[in-house]
Amino acid sequence: MAGLCAAARARELGLDVVVLEKGDRAGGSMLLSSGVVWRHRSLAEFCADCPGGESALQTAIVRGLDAGIDWLESLGATVAEHETGNPRTVGKRFDTRSLTDVLVAAAGDVRLETALEASGEPAVILATGGFAARLARENGLLLRANEWSDGDGLQFALARGAVTSGDLTEFYGRAMPAVAIAEGDFVPAAQLYGRFAVVLDDRGRELEVSLTWSEVELAQELARAGGRGWLVVDGRGLEQRVRERSVAQMVAAAERVGGEVRRANAPEALGLGLTLSAALADPPFLAVRVQAGVTHTIGGLRIDAQARVLDGAGTPIPGLYAAGADVGGISTGGYSSGLAAALVFGRIAAEAAYACR
């Protein structure tokens, strides 16, 4: 999304633009997402949810997202829902196929299966999606994103003196059924009910996970514990809802994609070493085997509020910009919308490149 938004805005401003897309289709991980583009209701809430992030970058998103959403609509992107379904956030859900198509049309020259390389262009905007594929591969995790985001933008910038911001091991992801997941199931197969479950590692040891509203910590804790584990819920938990879905529906989605689900009338019968407790009191008892899935990395390149990539002295590297998951320092220590960051900083990067032409 970041690259297409940057290209579309740059072309609006009259710049000659070429989009180099490593994959065999446009849209990156945006096309595979739920399409919800959102921001926190206030900067204070953004800072509280992502305490390690840089205030200037968070401010840019809070101030710039609403205009960015209006711009997407002006291009013809189809809005699927005008609310996020979460009282903590403001934004809209777009049909991701429509969103991809209108941005490709606005971007113009999109060259598929073309890797990033030094080209001598006066300005390069890095928007390669971070390094989710590499992080997942190196840590034995599922990849809940496009397979091409392997850190090309990060390496391109580091070779030119750039520095990073945030923790490069931190990622946004979800607990997923511990099986190979097709791209079309990345959203519906997510198991987002850690607050209602007992969380175990793959050996049956209970994990103490302190969860915020987004449950971004669940996938990260599973990753630290070896990548796989179990979510165990009782009858009372199955009835709980996380926005539009019940826990029972999420468990059913895990079964539909081939995930392992155990059922018993007593916790000890699940074969995981559990006994009746206050957390697990009402039969039936279900255990879903899960694996952490990486959606996008949170650490990345350090930029300023004009999306300019910075060197170790805090000085912008001439002609080099970054947006989207290639950037670190936005949601460090928490969770915010990756699509919002891509939209806002994609547009900012294009405008900064235009100003410096």
Contacts of 293 (CB under 8 A, 6+ apart): 136, 141, 142, 143, 144, 173, 174, 175, 176, 181, 186, 190, 219
The one-letter amino acid at 204:
G
Domain final residue, candidates 293, 323, 338: 293
| Structure confidence at residue 106 (pLDDT) | 97
Q: For tokens 């840089």, name the residue.
A: 54
| Structure confidence at residue 253 (pLDDT) | 98
Q: For tokens 């989710």, name the residue.
A: 132
| Structure confidence at residue 17 (pLDDT) | 95
Same domain, 159 and 40: yes
Same domain, 145 and 199: no
Same domain, 214 and 239: yes
CA distance 277 to 274: 9
Same domain, 276 and 211: yes
Phi/psi of residue 141, nearest 5 degrees: -110, 165
The one-letter amino acid at 182:
A
| Structure confidence at residue 113 (pLDDT) | 96
Between the alpha carbon of residue 72 and those of residues 1, 37, 150, 316, 350, the distances in Å are 11, 11, 27, 29, 15
CA distance 292 to 287: 16
Same domain, 114 and 214: no
| Structure confidence at residue 336 (pLDDT) | 97
> Following CA atoms 221, 222, 224, 225 in sequence, which dihedral angle do they give, to the nearest 10 degrees?
120
Same domain, 18 and 64: yes
| Structure confidence at residue 244 (pLDDT) | 87
Same domain, 16 and 129: yes
Domain final residue, candidates 276, 293, 310: 293
Same domain, 27 and 161: yes
CATH number of the structural domain spanning residue 347:
3.50.50.60
Show pLDDT as tens, one digit a residue, over the chain (357 residues). Answer: 999 999 999 999 999 999 999 999 999 999 999 999 999 999 999 999 999 999 999 999 999 999 999 999 999 999 999 999 899 999 999 999 999 999 999 999 999 999 998 778 889 999 999 999 999 999 999 999 999 999 999 999 999 999 999 999 999 999 999 999 999 999 999 999 999 999 999 999 999 889 999 999 999 999 999 999 999 999 999 999 998 899 999 999 999 999 999 999 999 999 998 887 878 999 999 999 999 999 999 999 999 999 999 999 999 999 999 999 999 999 999 999 999 999 999 999 999 999 988
CA distance 348 to 321: 9
Same domain, 233 and 316: no
Number of domain units in the chain: 2
CA dihedral sign of residues 44, 74, 349, 326: positive
Same domain, 24 and 88: yes
12-18 LR contacts (CB < 8 Å, sep 24+)? 12/106, 13/350, 13/351, 13/354, 14/354, 15/350, 15/353, 15/354, 15/357, 17/107, 17/108, 17/109, 18/109, 18/111, 18/121
Contact predicate 286/232, CB 8 Å: yes
The parent domain of residue 65 ranges over 2-166+298-355
Same domain, 265 and 280: yes
Phi/psi of residue 216, nearest 5 degrees: -60, -25
Same domain, 83 and 119: yes
| Structure confidence at residue 112 (pLDDT) | 97
Contacts of 232 (CB under 8 A, 6+ apart): 197, 198, 199, 200, 267, 270, 272, 274, 280, 285, 286, 287, 288
